[in-house]
């Protein structure tokens, strides 16, 4: 049995049910009783608690800005940083193959385990207790968020990416509108001439579909550039 | 001032702060004080509460199945059905242009307002109160979920879609692996010969990247087929 006392101090929470904590720390390589279900729960919990914190602290921001700020806080690299700060990797339980390949220090695994441990705390002690742990872990990061304006939406980022390389702007066209008035769906095409690239996305509003098509275009351009000879 | 008493009965919750409820019911076409921030909050709340309900009621399911069940419960069409059951559309506040174009009965708007009203209840009365409203609204649907096995993952759905049309299986190839051992990213390509289609996706695991590439392929095939002459 591990000695979890240092971990408890770092997260300012003591588990009563150490068997539950053990599941939260067990990678899939250990077998069927692993952290993945708790991670699913913890992911939803974390998203919501961060949403609430941003909602209350930033009454001046619209939902697009709130959403981008949240994404910057809950993404894998941020969670992995937090895992390293509380030295969660020491407690990870992995199959020996995964351990040898350095899995205990992999960002994606560390990020998953932050979520599963939070999920486990929620299962054991409920919403307010789990929320306190999250707010303490994220306090510095929530207070020192970049100006929301600097987190640009996908259409803006795509345009700046293209301009930076001396290319022309992308074009957006609605190629399909489906459904009746009460249930519309828009399929939008984003055309990036400089890369012979056409991406499509479908959403319930033109604005959302354009943002999604722009996001796919950015990913595609990055993939193309990184695989170019 | 609207008479909200029937709405309160249908959701089994009475707002003390009717000004807050009014914001939750106000479409963007009404101006700056609209439901979008509350919708952001309510969306996170709803996702988490449904995740918790499924986690507890289905100890036999893995996180992939839980995730697909949740998606089927919180998608726009389901939320719009719930909005119609509680006749939420009657209380919607829209600019006259949106109203005339039938916006009060549009699925996407109704789905948004379900979330914003839930977000408002949470702001007013906290997590447990908002959770009770959600569980009552979703009770039937959570109890009568399809067998999780019938909610297939994207790779399976793509394969079945192709087989059904007599085409061969898609191929998946890793086209790029980036990062160090502690922070890997996989770019996967899904090749669908029958449609001359190549989609790519990047994720922190090969499995996730393949699922994402398959999902994009399914969307692309549907777009191609619906726009074919």
Reduced to 3 states (helix: H, G, I; strand: E, B; else coil), residue A173 is: strand
Query: What's the confidence (pLDDT) of residue B17?
Result: 97
Contact B44 A37 (CB under 8 A): no
What tens digit of pLDDT does each residue of B96-135 get? 777 767 777 788 899 999 999 999 999 999 999 999 999 9
CB contact under 8 A, A204 and B37: no
- B48, B134, B197: which to substitute to probe chain A, counting the most A Cβ within 10 Å? B48
At B194, list the tokens. 């029958």
Q: State residue A30's pLDDT score.
A: 87
CA of B3 to nearest chain A CA: how many angstroms apart?
25
How many Cβ atoms from other residues are within 10 Å of residue A124's Cβ?
17
**In terms of pLDDT, which residue wins out, B31 or A111?**
A111
pLDDT band at B149 (very low <50, low <70, confident <90, very high): low
pLDDT tens-digit profile of A117-149?
999 999 999 999 999 999 999 999 998 876 655
> Which of B40, B62, B181 is opposite residue A106, by nearest beta carbon?
B181
Local structure of A195: helix, strand or coil: helix
Q: Which fold has domain A5-150?
A: Ribonuclease iii, N-terminal Endonuclease Domain; Chain A (1.10.1520)
Q: What is the pLDDT, as a whole number, of residue A114?
A: 98
Residues of A marked as catalytic: 43, 115
Contact between B102 and A37 using a beta-carbon 8 Å cutoff: no
**Which A residues 161-190 touch B at CB under 8 Å?**
175-176, 178-179, 181-184, 187
- Fold observed for domain B154-227: Double Stranded RNA Binding Domain (3.30.160)
Q: Which of B100, B5, B4, B114 is nearest to B49 (CA)?
A: B114
Quick check: A220 contacting B, CB < 8 Å?
A: yes
Of A122, A182, A226, the CB nearest to B176: A226
Note the pLDDT tens digit of each residue in B15-55. Answer: 999 999 999 999 988 888 999 999 999 999 999 999 999 99
Convert the pLDDT of each residue in B175-194 to its tens digit. Answer: 888 776 556 778 899 999 98
Does the structure show a pLDDT above 50 at B59?
yes
Tens digit of each residue's pLDDT (9 = 90 or more) over B155-174: 988 998 898 889 999 999 99
* Catalytic status, residue B115: yes
Q: Where in chain B is the domain with CATH 3.30.160.20?
A: 154-227
Neighboring chain B residues of A48 at a CB cutoff of 8 Å:
44-45, 47-48
CB contact under 8 A, B183 and A102: no
pLDDT digits (tens, 9 = 90+) for A49-105: 999 999 999 988 889 889 989 998 999 999 999 999 999 999 999 887 777 677 777
Report the CATH number of the B5-148 domain: 1.10.1520.10
Cα of A2 to nearest chain B Cα, Å: 23
pLDDT tens per residue, range A10-44: 999 999 999 999 999 999 888 889 999 999 999 99
**pLDDT score at B109:** 92
Instruction: Retrieve residue A185's tokens.
Output: 């769906």
DSSP-derived secondary structure for chain B: ----HHHHHHHT---S-HHHHHHHTB-GGG-SS-THHHHHHHHHHHHHHHHHHHHHH-TT--HHHHHHHHHHHHSHHHHHHHHHHTTGGGG-B--HHHHHTTGGG-HHHHHHHHHHHHHHHHHHH-HHHHHHHHHHHHHHHHHTPPPGGGS--HHHHHHHHHHHTTPPPPEEEEEEEES-TTS-EEEEEEEEGGGTEEEEEEESSHHHHHHHHHHHHHHHHHHHHHH--
Dist CA B104 CA B91 (whole Å): 9
- Is residue A128 within 8 Å of A120, Cβ to Cβ? no
Do B219 and A204 lie within an 8 Å CB cutoff? no
- Every domain of chain B with CATH number 1.10.1520.10 lies at 5-148
Domain(s) of CATH 1.10.1520.10: residues in chain A: 5-150
Residues on chain B touching A200 (C-beta within 8 angstroms): 219-220, 223
Residue numbers of A between 8 and 37 with CB closer than 8 Å to B:
36-37
Confidence of residue B1 (pLDDT cuts 50, 70, 90): very low
**In chain A, positions 63-122, which contact chain B (CB-CB < 8 Å)?**
63, 66-67, 76-77, 80, 101-102, 105-108, 122
| B225 vs B44: which has the higher pLDDT | B44
**Pairing label, strands A171-178, B171-178:** unpaired
């Amino acid at each position: 049995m591990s000695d979890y006392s240092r971990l408890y101090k770092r997260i300012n929470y003591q588990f009563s049910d150490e068997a539950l904590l053990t599941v939260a720390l067990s990678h899939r390589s250990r077998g069927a009783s692993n952290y993945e279900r708790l991670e699913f729960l913890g992911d939803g919990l974390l998203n919501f608690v961060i949403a609430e914190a941003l909602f209350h602290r930033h009454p001046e921001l619209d939902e697009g800005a709130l959403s981008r700020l949240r994404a910057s806080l809950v993404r894998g690299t941020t969670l992995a940083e937090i895992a390293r700060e509380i030295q969660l990797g020491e407690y990870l339980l992995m199959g020996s193959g995964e351990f040898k390949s350095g899995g205990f220090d992999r960002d994606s695994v560390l990020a998953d385990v932050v979520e599963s441990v939070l999920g486990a705390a929620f299962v054991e002690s409920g919403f307010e207790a789990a929320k306190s742990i999250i707010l303490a872990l994220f306090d510095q990061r929530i207070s020192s968020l970049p100006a929301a304006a600097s987190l640009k939406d996908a259409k803006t980022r795509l345009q700046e990416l293209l301009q930076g390389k001396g290319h022309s702007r992308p074009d957006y066209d609605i190629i399909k509108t489906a459904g009746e008035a009460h249930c519309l769906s828009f399929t939008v095409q984003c055309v990036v001439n400089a890369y012979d690239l056409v991406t499509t996305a479908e959403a319930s509003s033109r604005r959302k579909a354009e943002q999604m098509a722009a996001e796919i275009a950015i990913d595609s351009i990055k993939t193309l550039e990184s695989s170019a000879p």
